[in-house]
A and B are shown apart, each in its own frame.
Chain A
Amino acid sequence: MIRSDIIKELASTIKDTLTVCNIGLPSQEMHMIDDQPSNFYMLGTMGLASSIGLGLALAQKAKVLVIDGDGSVLTNLGTLPTIANNVADNYVLLIIDNGSYGSTGDQPTYAGKLTSLTAVAKACGCENVIECKAEDTVQVVKDALAGDKMTVIVSKCESGNIKVPVITMDPVVIRDRFMKTVAAQNV
């Protein structure tokens, strides 16, 4: 299974969940497969999906899912201690770990070599870290969203990409409809 297979399987489960999508292909795939106002698409700024999601989770009550990648987490590795030390039990970080920088042509990341992001997250103090196979990801995400415990999921999958169109929606439109959805989930 590759990342787009996981996102396809996940789409119906997270339809109404506030979802922060990582830059590049994860956002483009989510947008193509099931565009929802509850999705915040990152059009730039590699690495910050987990931070945006954490800020969002700390600021309001609804559940927040971040769909991140191993390359982006490595770019912003300082995020994991911040997550561990600022527990938000409405926060689920899904790291789709395909061991490569997918959006830029599948160059290998260190997460596909000797570095285990699961071990790194645990060492940073994250209490609830689950590593799973790609095939089990939907169920693990479902359980994490149903629970009330901050969870970091590292889903190990194969690298590879499908053809997807770029997102042409204006960033202010993405932000505005997302914020209206956030507000509606907090009445």
Chain B
Amino acid sequence: MSVDDIIIDGFVNNKVEFITTVPCKQLGGVIDAAEKHPDIYHIPSNKEDEGMGLCAGAFMGGKRSAIIMQNTAIGVTINTLVTLTQYYRMPLPMLISYRGELGEPVACQAEMAVHTKALLAQINIPTYHFHRQSDADEFDKILKYTFMCNKPVAILTDASFWGGY
């Protein structure tokens, strides 16, 4: 089973039916899999904070939601995470491609990579880092944890996890 399918199956098994995405090269496969899955309503966003708004609405409408995005988005979503998702105590799994790590060919990506974990820690977001494919074994538990505690939770997935560029 491909890692893309493992991720999407994890979402589906946890009744996540509404997924918004902002693309990243590393996420192409998982976004395709979300688009194709019959049990997922996939709604592309133009910006990640917009996506978090969509997820908040879907959650209040009774559907579990999730966002798939790049780590650069942490730089544009701090206010939304704090004043919407956290303030109203809403669960939000965030599957995040962790650009700027080992194997990264684009130097600029390292600039946000060095801030990513610090920013997430600063706003008290539980953060997991998938480096090896076997790390995805915990995905199911992470999703259950997210919906148990009603928090945004970050799952950083680096180039080694996705099998390189």
Binding site for B on A (CB under 8 A): 20, 40, 42-45, 47-60, 76, 78-79, 81-82, 86, 171-172, 174-175, 178-179, 182-183, 186
A76 cross-chain contacts in B, Cβ below 8 A: 47, 49-50, 53
Minimum CB–CB distance for A46 against chain B, Å? 8
Contacts of B89 in A (CB 8 A): 171-172, 175
CB distance from B61 to the nearest CB of A (A): 3
User: Closest chain B residue to A186 by CB distance?
Assistant: B62
Contacts of A56 in B (CB 8 A): 57-58, 60-61
Given contacts A58-B41, A78-B46, A182-B61, A43 and B83 within 8 Å (CB-CB): yes
Which residues of the partner chain B approach A179 to less than 8 Å between Cβ atoms? 60, 62
Minimum CB–CB distance for A61 against chain B, Å = 9
How many residues on the B side are at the interface (Cβ–Cβ under 8 A)? Answer: 32
Sorted nearest first, the 8 A-B pairs with minimum C-beta distance are: A55-B57, A59-B61, A44-B83, A51-B53, A78-B46, A48-B53, A56-B57, A55-B54
Taking CB atoms, residues of chain B closer than 8 Å to A58 are: 18, 41, 43, 54, 57-58, 61
B90 in the interface (beta carbon within 8 A): yes
Is the Cβ of A51 less than 8 Å from the Cβ of B57?
yes
Contact at B54–A82, with CB atoms within 8 Å? yes
A186 to B61: give the CA distance in the assembly, Å. Answer: 9
Given the known A-B contacts A55-B56, A58-B41, A59-B18, are A48 and B50 also in contact in the complex, defined by CB atoms under 8 Å? yes
Interchain pairs with CB closer than 8 A, number = 116
B88 contacts A51, C-beta separation under 8 Å: no
Alpha-carbon distance A187/B151, docked complex (angstroms): 27
Interface centre among B61, B80, B82, B84 (most CB of A within 10 A): B61
Q: Which residues of A contact B49 (CB under 8 A)?
A: 45, 47-48, 76
* Interface: B65 (CB within 8 A): yes
